[in-house]
Amino acid sequence: MKKDNQTIKSLLLLLGILLLVSLSPNLVFGATPSSGTAAKWGRLSVKDTQLVNKKGKAVQLKGVSTHGIAWFPDYVNQKQFKSWKKFGANTVRLALYSDPSAGYSRSLYKKVDQGVKSATKLGMYVIIDWHILSDGNPNTYKSEAKHFFKRMAKKYRNQTNIIYEICNEPNGNVSWSSDIKPYANTIIKTIRKYDKKNIILVGTPTWSQDVDTAAKDPITGQKNIMYTLHFYAATHGQYLRDKAQTALDEGLPIFVSEFSICDASGNGGINYTEAKAWIKFLKKNKIPFVAWNVSNKAETSSLIQSSCSKTGKIKRSDLSETGRWLIKQF
């Protein structure tokens, strides 16, 4: 009798474990955030133009982007991300340049994995950014992009803190309707085969500025798609906020996945007046914002002082002028 009870108890325990694993594999294996903002807000979705949490309440993501992870791989670590979390960020963007001349190689997938893991442990959202730039047209490396997003969506399909950014900044002779949108439809299909729910960000023409063009011909038949707007405050002012307002009025969900307050080269002087106007606009509309870039490169957009060589934990006094401004906005 005693032995039977023991067997039944063991069986029940085993059953319980199996049930838990099948219901929430990520919780059990530790892949989904168990603390921090990403645990509290859970899986995000898009309601009209607004990003909302698992309860349908409007939320605003705020964060930082790495520089190209081929050039500055050492900043992709948990201690560095934790410092940003302490400064008030809830999101990290991992920028993988797609052009081999900017360091692209499949060997960097592991670096992306490290970044995702670090952000997840901290309960932060993480953007996996396919950073097209000199390759202008996202179709230039479309088959490589498919390979990349298939790999990532398969791996992270059940993780609730993942955001896919499928083409950083289309530019040059590219059209929304005949180049970018078809590319987006292909990559969205690739991702959705595995990951049915996480947010997907789509770049817009002219270095992700023409959200008004996308608003006239948005992607249809898909959920949880947002469109990126990028600005550099010393170059882009009211006219770009007007474009954004037009797009919002037409119902386009906007995500600022990259910006800075210097000029579009990533360098030059800071325009505090425009920076203030932008932040006011973003906060009013609860638009997510992610600042370029976590590195100590000697350029204005770098958030860490060039004299600081630490790549792990950093303090407020290690930040550049841009970095110190940024954390006040968080």
Catalytic residues: 169, 258
Q: How far is CA 297 from the centre of its chain?
A: 21
Asked if residue 297 binds ligand IDC (CB under 6 A), the reply is: yes
Helix, coil or strand: residue 286: coil
The count of chain residues that interact with ligand IDC, using the rule CB under 6 A, is 16
Cβ contact 293:133 at 8 Å: no
Residue from 75, 87, 139, 169 that binds ligand IDC (CB under 6 A)? 169
Whose tokens are 């606009």? That residue is: 281
User: What angle separates helix 321-329 from helix 272-284, to the nearest 10 degrees?
Assistant: 30
Closest to 82 (Cα-Cα) out of 294, 260, 328? 294
Token pair in block for residue 169? 């900044």
Binding track, positions 9-48, relative to ligand IDC; x by CB under 6 A: ----------------------------------------
Residue from 27, 219, 264, 277 that binds ligand IDC (CB under 6 A)? 264
Q: How far is the CB of 17 from ligand IDC (least distance, A)?
A: 46
Q: How far is the CB of 44 from ligand IDC (least distance, A)?
A: 23
Residue from 198, 292, 296, 305 that binds ligand IDC (CB under 6 A)? 292
Asked if residue 227 binds ligand IDC (CB under 6 A), the reply is: no
Closest to 92 (Cα-Cα) out of 129, 132, 39? 129
**Hey, how many other C-beta atoms are within 10 angstroms of the C-beta on 4?**
8
Length of the chain: 330
Residue from 27, 39, 52, 102 that binds ligand IDC (CB under 6 A)? 102
Residue from 265, 273, 306, 309 that binds ligand IDC (CB under 6 A)? 265
Residues 197-226 that bind ligand IDC (CB under 6 A): 207
